[in-house]
Amino acid sequence: MGEAGPLDLDEVACRPVGHSFYNEAITRLARGRLGRAQFVVSSALRTVTLQIIHYPHPTLNYKSKPVKRVDAELRGMIAEMFDLMYAARGIGLAANQVGIPLRFFVMNLAGAKGEGEELVFINPTISRTTGADEAEEGCLSLPGVYGPVLRPAEVLFSAYMPNGEKFEQKVSGMFARCVQHETDHLDGIMFIERMDDDSLYQIQPEVDQFELTFERLRSEGKLPTDQEITAFQNDIEAKYA
């Protein structure tokens, strides 16, 4: 993916957050020191009701489009994503996991509202990786399914903050794993696609059950058709991508 240009911010300004905020937050997280919550996203009108979608929803395979503008409605979506993430007891949530085909994700390694650091990464790019580390992962779009995933131990990544500033940071540990997991989502890749064949075989019955449930709900008219999903994606992309 080519590098996205600067973000276009509307007149509804979010709380100013400089490079030092993100760098200090990331440093604390990397060292395992989770302080009190510092909110990056200002409150906004929530004009879209979101919910976490489950595998094999087509949007999860969609390569998300870079965000070109941030407005009050998008900030409302971001705030709602944090609420959904906490309710599902997660630590990261990508936009396409709530059906939004845009390149951003939210993250809080504490996994609880009022704790840790709430971070928003817009148009993230991983430019360099080093080392290797295997650990168990799960996914809010495949709740209850877990498996080992081998990933680089350290990554250099860059992203935009909600106020339009760009930053670059080297991270490791759980922070690096979460960044890679969520960035994969934005590229249409789920963690089960990173698992080795033997490990995937062990959880295949659970994955198959999600596919059966999806098809049943679709046949009952309880999930949108591919045409409806595409129309919604086109509307969102026309406004923000």
Cα dihedral 162, 92, 23, 116 in deg (nearest 10)? 110
**Tens-place pLDDT, residues 159-168:** 999 888 898 9
**Tens-place pLDDT, residues 128-155:** 999 999 999 999 999 999 999 999 999 9
> Which residue ranges are tagged as binding site for Fe cation?
139, 181, 185
Q: Which residue has the tokens 């080795």?
A: 196
Mean per-residue pLDDT over the chain, rounded: 85
> Which residue ranges are tagged as binding site?
139, 181, 185
Domains of the chain: 8-236 (3.90.45.10)
pTM for the whole structure: 0.84
* 60 or 7, greater pLDDT: 60
Set 182, 206, 215, 228: catalytic member = 182
Look up 73 and say whether it is catalytic.
Answer: no
What is the DSSP pairing of strand 8-9 with strand 69-70? Answer: parallel
